[in-house]
Amino acid sequence: MPVHLDSIEAERPFFVPDKVTIVDDVLTMGRTSFACAELLRAVCPDAEIRIFAMIRTQGLQDDIEKIVDPATGIIVGYPSGKTHRDP
């Protein structure tokens, strides 16, 4: 995640929202979205932060079985910079 954090920044907004939704086009490991959430948590510590992604995948796939497979899950970040996404 350190590489992801080096490429983005966040400033405390004039109005601090109660809820923030990060919109991502594709969620694979969740590292970029998680880094964004960490930065937002630093400037909006009391806000509920969620991530919405149009596509979620575990990596490149040769054969796609389903186009629609909505899911709700969590992303856990580790000090090493790796993340675990479930589902």
Q: What is the pLDDT at residue 3?
A: 61
Find the helix or strand (DSSP H, E) in which 5 lies.
Answer: helix 2-6
Contact between 27 and 33 under an 8 Å Cβ cutoff? The reply is yes
Q: What's the pLDDT tens digit per position in 48-83?
A: 999 999 888 777 667 767 666 788 889 999 988 889
Q: What is the pLDDT at residue 55?
A: 82
Q: What's the pLDDT tens digit per position in 19-39?
A: 999 999 888 888 999 999 999
d(CA 20, CA 29): 20
